[in-house]
Chains A and B, each alone.
Chain A
Amino acid sequence: MKNKKTITVAVTGLNAIDSPGPGIAVIRGLKESDFFNVRIIGLAYEILEPGIYMDELVDKVYQIPVPSSGFDVMLERLKYIQGKEKIDVLIPNFDAELMTFIKLKPILNKMGIKMLIPTKEQFEERLKGELNKFGEKLGIKVPKSETVFTINELEETLDDYDYPVVIKGKFYDAYIATNIEQAKIFFYKILAKWGAPIIVQEFINGNEFNITALGDGKGNMLGAVPMRKTFLTDKGKAWAGISIDDPKLLKMANDVISKTKWAGGMEIELMKEEKTNELYLLEINPRFPAWIYLANGCGQNHPEMLVKFLMGETVDPIEEYAIGKMFIRYSYDMICDLDKYEKMSIHGEV
């Protein structure tokens, strides 16, 4: 398309590491837009997030305060950044930062920064500890789970579960424990890293499937691509995956988006029980997954669709996608000059 409109999009999640954030995959989709010429502002929490040093993808980077610094600190930083850059759209890519951005949304909107993100209620009802209620509301099977805060609560709760059992953090990390001692070790490990609560979940034996989907906030699903992970890292993250053809999965994604009126990207994690072939909802992540570029490879560029929607362009829902497309990640050593690292360390921008 000629005369592409130039816009500025800020993106978080530049941590393209072994457990990657989605930022770089989102940026790749945006840079391949047929509709927009996208200038990317990277927002980084750590100065060694690899995306900071990817000059071909990221035009300018600012360090931002971690979500625990508070609402006001983040707002001040974003005001400073917006004073220098005219950001049109911001795409948050971390679960842990999303509540801050939900609170900031009306203020950022007045500053000219648009976001397509879930509401506080939508964000909270799909929290891991609330998933049973969420499943009931939507008529979707969810493995039995309970939220615990202390080791005593964990011990009491485990009396009602058969092993193996899954021990999960509120935002990240999940481990399969085959006995109470292992469960306690995982409890403390997750508690030290992510804090309480910890979720105890029934283990479902089967194949895991994931869906990335985009909702317009009015109950319409703009696109969805299901995939199966074909290679996992030791952290359980997808290192390779393949797009699949399962209408049941797409129907479930459509149900979730239409019944919740979800706004923005989401990743649905499901388990198909081997014994019964029943689908169980494991998690809903309130953002694009790190493998979102597979959707682009399948013919659905969700980051571009999200930006088009926010910029007031017509976005027609897409149902078609290529089946049997694979993604395979790889490690790559960039050689970087020290001055960029120095600028990020001293000035917090580069």
Chain B
Amino acid sequence: MKLKKNIAISESGFIFNPEIGTSFTTNSLGVAILKQLKEKTSLDKIKDSIVKNYDIDPITCEKDLDDFLRIVNQYNLLEEQS
């Protein structure tokens, strides 16, 4: 899973997709996840870093991460899977 390379991520949580001109807002954790996706970090590593830095168990983390990624996909921010 990879974020489209031209997606602009601001530290404030403002996300801009320049290809279609849409924008979204997210929180600091969302920014951290999107940045890692942009760097092609694996989902397992992203999940591990969240579990390590936040008070959350691995199962809940996986579920929440799945929900977040589904939204990210709906917003057309991910590269199409070949």
Chain A interface residues toward B at CB < 8 A: 207, 209, 227-228, 230, 241-246, 272, 323-324
Flag the segment in B17-25, B26-34, B44-52, B55-63 that touches A: B17-25
Identify whether the interface residues of A are mostly helix, strand, loop, or mixed.
strand
Question: Which B-chain residue is minimally distant from A249 (CB atoms)?
Answer: B19
Question: Which A-chain residue is minimally distant from B80 (CB atoms)?
Answer: A277
Q: Which of B19, B21, B22 is in CB contact (< 8 Å) with A227?
A: B21
Question: Which A-chain residue is minimally distant from B8 (CB atoms)?
Answer: A324
Contact B19 A244 (CB under 8 A): yes
Contact A245 B8 (CB under 8 A): no
Residues of B within 8 Å of A228, CB to CB, are: 20-22
Summed over the interface, the residue pairs from A and B with CB atoms below 8 Å come to a total of: 25
A317 to B80, CA, bound (A): 33
Identify whether the interface residues of B are mostly helix, strand, loop, or mixed.
loop
Contacts A243-B21, A244-B21 supplied; 15 other A-B pairs, CB < 8 Å:
A207-B20, A228-B21, A230-B21, A241-B21, A242-B21, A244-B19, A245-B18, A245-B19, A246-B19, A246-B20, A272-B20, A323-B18, A324-B8, A324-B16, A324-B18
Report the count of interface residues on B (CB-CB < 8 A).
8
Of the A-B pairs whose beta carbons lie under 8 Å apart in the complex, a sample of 16, sorted by A's number, is A209-B20, A228-B21, A228-B22, A230-B21, A241-B21, A244-B18, A244-B20, A244-B21, A245-B6, A245-B18, A245-B19, A246-B19, A272-B20, A324-B8, A324-B16, A324-B21
Residues of B within 8 Å of A246, CB to CB, are: 19-20
Give chain B nearest CB distance to A321 CB in angstroms: 11
A241 to B22, CA, bound (A): 10
Residues of B within 8 Å of A323, CB to CB, are: 18
Give chain B nearest CB distance to A163 CB in angstroms: 27
Question: Which B-chain residue is minimally distant from A246 (CB atoms)?
Answer: B19
Residues of A within 8 Å of B6, CB to CB, are: 245
Residues of A within 8 Å of B16, CB to CB, are: 324
Question: Which A-chain residue is minimally distant from B17 (CB atoms)?
Answer: A244
Question: Which A-chain residue is minimally distant from B18 (CB atoms)?
Answer: A245
Give chain A nearest CB distance to B79 CB in angstroms: 13
